[in-house]
Structure 1
Amino acid sequence: MAIKGIEPENVEDFIKDIDGALAEQGVAIPTDSKNFEEFTDDEQKRIIHKVDRRLVTGLGLLMGMCLMDRTNLGSTSIAGMSVDLGLENGSKYSLVLLIFFVPYVLVQLPVNAIAQNFSPRNFSCGVTLCWGVLMVGAAFVDKWWHLLIIRALLGAFESSLFAALLPLLSSWYTRYDVHKRFSISYFISCLIAALGPVLACGFMQMDGLSGLAGWRYIFLMEGVLNFAAAIIGWLLLVEYPLGSHKCWMFLTEKEEAFIIRHIDADRADAAEQIKFNLRGFLSPAKDWKVFTYPMMFLLSTCVSYSIAFFLPIILESKLNYGVTAAQGLSTPPYVVAGIWMYFTAWLGDKYHIRGPIVIWNCLLSIIGLSLLGWVASPGVQYFGVILVTAGGNANVPTDLAWQANNIRGKWKRLFCNALLIMGGGIGGIVGSLVFRSQDAPTYRPGIEASIVASFITMAIAIALMLRMHALNKMAATGAIVLEELHGFKYTL
């Protein structure tokens, strides 16, 4: 559309001048700049959906393979791995689970800094190929400590994936579009991970073929699937918005310019290019609020990981299902969780809320854990499993979106992303320990620990909401400037 007094061919330059001037002054670009937009509303939606199809789908695929690989020990365990490798003795099984998250946490800060020097598409698909090789190698281990080493390396490579992809996704969307995209990506990944037990059930039927045990085929075939996912992911994924028109069969230069204007109207950092500086990278550590999101993420992932790691085992030993039934019944809770997390994401983006959703999901988890721990009926216990799986997993994209909404700037985003994933890794360490084999069949200590984690998450969310509400009121009076941008307000 043309603006009165300006020729149509100069509209794009006119918008760039306005947005650039405002961004340089540290002023939030008014959302009514869409009045100058050359694309109609329908055209804008088609451009954003074009990004969704490539970025969200590719991210979901690689995250799904990541989740499938890190949580497959429950399936391989009941398929004979624990007996063959002697993991039933002492705390060996928990140690194999735990070791994954030690390098997962340790590499986050350096990898987040290093990954920005590479194409996010090449980097993420490269590490996917690497851990696919490790999965194939896991099929041929003879001693339990061999598996321990592979799991440690797997943690380092899978952690690297999130260093590349989470900043990429948040860079493409406005603050109140990002929750749905995180949720859809995580939904796709949960569906893929939910197929893990079903695929494992099929792969273990190959037991004895070429002299390999069924559990070895679970590792072997999932490694092959990772190779395929890396190739498909490379075809789907794109780069950061600035320069994205160069990606194969993606946006035109005008469509790229629209995306940058669209994001700048929300937070004025779409085309930010800042040379790496260690002091600048670490400076966000002075803001105490950046540590609250990783803490909530730690506690949320503690609940979701503990269920994921031990669900087939719980279904077999606590609810007395057979091995095949336990594998098959591990899938429906994740399907329900995916539907629930998208619904909560839709609510969160529509009404611009995050904290209340975190609190509600914690309550859902507490109810589910209570049913699992203190009700005798297997059917009711299984319903409790569905509730806690839905509540725990729905908080993962909510935590990601809440942090993404309340930070600005490339390097602050990278630092905070590293802290968040480190929190998730520590949550995985705790989650791998709370359900202990010696507590079977009730697993009461693990259930109680997960309930406590949910209550603490609620307390942190409430405290953070109250503090940010007070800061928003101060910003509204002009007393302070939030995130170095006039007009910026925190999402509660």
Structure 2
Amino acid sequence: MASSDKSSAVSEKRIEDAGNTVDVERLSEDDRFPPAVVRKLLFKIDLRMLPLLGLLYAVALIDRTNLGIARVAGMESDLKLKIGERYSIASCIYFVPYTLLQLPSNIVLRVLGARTWLTICVTGWGVAQLGMGFVPTWGYLVLTRVFLGAFEAGFFPALVFIITTWYKRHEIQKRLAGFYLVSIVLGGFSSIFAYALTLLDGKGGLAGWQWIFVIEGAITIALGLLTFLFVADFPDKNKFLTREETKLILDRVEADRGDSIPDEMTWAKLWLHLSDWTIWAYALMFMCATMPAYAIGFFITIILKGMGFSTRDSLLLSGPPSVFAAICCYVCAYFSDKTRKRALLLALQTVFTTIGLFITAYAKPNGVRYLGLFIAKAGASACVPAVLAYGANNVVSHTKRSISTAVIIMFGGIGGIFATTVYRQQDAPRYLNGIWATIGCQFLMLALLAATSFTFLRRNKLARQGKLGPLEGQPGFFYTI
């Protein structure tokens, strides 16, 4: 879009107010965007976006990690998953298409629109999930996991990309934590729901573990229909706000970071954005955050069973750590947005993850080891939206936001591959090697966080002294640390 078009669309310098011409540049933020009006409008957007997107992400997380639950519920013996590394391979193979298709998916997103693309993704992985309930052998299980990863690849980066285009920088983490909170709680109690489904064992000629995939797959397909009917698109394409409300949202984003209107993707921009080392730093940090989250999701029931709990108790005890994690996740996000500080809270959450992992690895009493899972789950879960917010706050333009989001979440898939391969069958049930690999990732997270924080502090200082800038090509922009 030409600069004159962009100016007329969102950055009008003069507006009409009660018949009088008012100079926008001389108005305070509260005059331009009255707090009461903004709060009401943001609540309307939150209500439209967050519950549905949160539910969809919760289902995505359940569908990708319920393999561990099904394994405990009888799939291991039926499909002979104890042979070699079959379970780890079936878990890991999902992340290959999930990782490779992130960036292409975000490019397709702007072309097809959020509603169409997300509907394709949700319905597609629902069918793959349903198919897992009818696999006769381990090989077919691996094939369905490939399709599951391919369709889920486009969902999470699209979800994060869409949310970050609606809000100002210091409103993002609460929203990301909001939908992630839904996913943590529902994902945590998916083990209890799965246990209920295993009670259908023998019904319709299906084993209990098969009913887990059949019912959850059918639910996902139904949600695909809701996605088509209700999901919100990008602000400039939305259909549920009035023209005046849309303009207010776009003006707020324009005033905050100057990228309310999408810029055109070109090959030159693609390579320019990919050459920014900070994007790769965010990506590695996200890998470090997702690795413990995936490890706990895939292996918590197995670790609990290794402590001596029965299958029923292992499934039921998998839920409570998620409730604690959800509370910590939102509290950390609230204070991060309120204080406008990202790095310090992210560092604290990483330290908590590390402490929890050490306790789970080396404590003797089962109760203390279970407490370690609470702490590790809480720290890792809070880190996921924190890294996403940290990255989203420090990029400008739709093209860079699209690329950075895809690259960051792509490395989340690598974190999943890492988690499913270092937690080896021969290390069960304590998985000390896997836990140490996860702890190593937390130290890498802290190192990367220190490097980016130092860089941003230095760039902000130079920009304020007039020796560097404009940062990210946007006058008045400063990095969030």
TM-score by length of 2: 0.94
| 1:323 alignment partner in structure 2 | 311
Contact residue 33 and residue 265 of structure 1 kept, 8 A: no
| 1:58 alignment partner in structure 2 | 52
- 2 CA distance for matches of 1:153 and 1:480? 47
Cα distance, 1:146 vs. partner? 0.4
- 2 CA distance for matches of 1:101 and 1:335? 26
User: Is residue 2:84 matched to residue 1:90?
Assistant: yes
**Identity of aligned pairs, percent?**
34
User: Is residue 2:212 matched to residue 1:198?
Assistant: no
Deviation track 1:269-322 (CA, whole Å, cap 9, x = no partner) reads 11x2333322222321221111110000011111111111101111001x2111
Mapping for residues 243-322 of structure 1, pairs under 5 Å: 243-244=237-238, 247=239, 250-270=240-260, 272-317=261-306, 319-322=307-310
- 2 CA distance for matches of 1:124 and 1:227? 12
The one-letter amino acid of 1:252's match is T
SS in structure 2 opposite 1:242?
helix
**1:471 aligned to 431, 441, 459, which one?**
459
The one-letter amino acid of 2:184's match is C
User: Is residue 2:347 matched to residue 1:338?
Assistant: no
- 1 CA distance for matches of 2:39 and 2:52? 19
User: Is residue 2:363 matched to residue 1:367?
Assistant: no
Name the CA shift for 1:335/1:265 in 2 (closer, same or farther; >3 Å): same
Contact residue 475 and residue 487 of structure 1 kept, 8 A: no
- 1 CA distance for matches of 2:29 and 2:37? 16
Deviation track 1:77-122 (CA, whole Å, cap 9, x = no partner) reads 0111111111111101000011000111111121111121012022
- 2 CA distance for matches of 1:313 and 1:10? 69
Contact residue 405 and residue 490 of structure 1 kept, 8 A: yes
- 2 CA distance for matches of 1:263 and 1:453? 34
- 1 CA distance for matches of 2:170 and 2:401? 16
User: Is residue 2:32 matched to residue 1:36?
Assistant: yes
Contact residue 241 and residue 256 of structure 1 kept, 8 A: yes
SS in structure 1 opposite 2:233?
coil
Q: Which runs of 5+ in 1 are unaligned?
A: 20-29
| 2:404 alignment partner in structure 1 | 416
Structure 1 runs (4+) greater than 4 angstroms displaced: none
Contact residue 172 and residue 259 of structure 1 kept, 8 A: yes
Cα distance, 1:127 vs. partner? 1.1
- 2 CA distance for matches of 1:10 and 1:282? 48
Name the CA shift for 1:332/1:233 in 2 (closer, same or farther; >3 Å): farther
| 2:7 alignment partner in structure 1 | none
Cα distance, 1:126 vs. partner? 2.1
Deviation track 1:449-488 (CA, whole Å, cap 9, x = no partner) reads 1111111111111121111111110011111111111221
The one-letter amino acid of 2:257's match is R
User: Is residue 2:211 matched to residue 1:211?
Assistant: no
| 1:348 alignment partner in structure 2 | 336
- 1 CA distance for matches of 2:160 and 2:362? 38
Deviation track 1:428-463 (CA, whole Å, cap 9, x = no partner) reads 000111221211222111111111111111111112
- 1 CA distance for matches of 2:402 and 2:285? 18
Shifted more, 226-235 versus 390-399: the winner is 226-235
Cα distance, 1:326 vs. partner? 0.6
- 2 CA distance for matches of 1:181 and 1:36? 23
TM-score by length of 1: 0.92
SS in structure 2 opposite 1:167?
helix
- 2 CA distance for matches of 1:359 and 1:6? 44
Contact residue 57 and residue 236 of structure 1 kept, 8 A: no
Name the CA shift for 1:94/1:195 in 2 (closer, same or farther; >3 Å): same
The one-letter amino acid of 1:350's match is K
- 2 CA distance for matches of 1:54 and 1:80? 40
- 1 CA distance for matches of 2:312 and 2:16? 69
What RMSD in Å do the two structures reach over aligned CA positions?
1.7
| 1:22 alignment partner in structure 2 | none
Deviation track 1:208-246 (CA, whole Å, cap 9, x = no partner) reads 1111110000000000110222233334321111142xx
Q: Which runs of 5+ in 2 are unaligned?
A: 1-13
| 1:390 alignment partner in structure 2 | 378
Report how many residues are paired.
Answer: 467
- 1 CA distance for matches of 2:198 and 2:350? 35
- 2 CA distance for matches of 1:148 and 1:7? 62
The one-letter amino acid of 1:228's match is A
Mapping for residues 84-233 of structure 1, pairs under 5 Å: 84-233=78-227
Cα distance, 1:252 vs. partner? 1.4
The one-letter amino acid of 2:203's match is L
User: Is residue 2:69 matched to residue 1:75?
Assistant: yes
Cα distance, 1:157 vs. partner? 0.6
- 1 CA distance for matches of 2:308 and 2:119? 40
SS in structure 2 opposite 1:238?
coil
| 1:23 alignment partner in structure 2 | none
| 1:8 alignment partner in structure 2 | 17
SS in structure 1 opposite 2:379?
helix
Cα distance, 1:9 vs. partner? 4.9
- 1 CA distance for matches of 2:396 and 2:15? 33
| 1:24 alignment partner in structure 2 | none
- 1 CA distance for matches of 2:45 and 2:357? 38
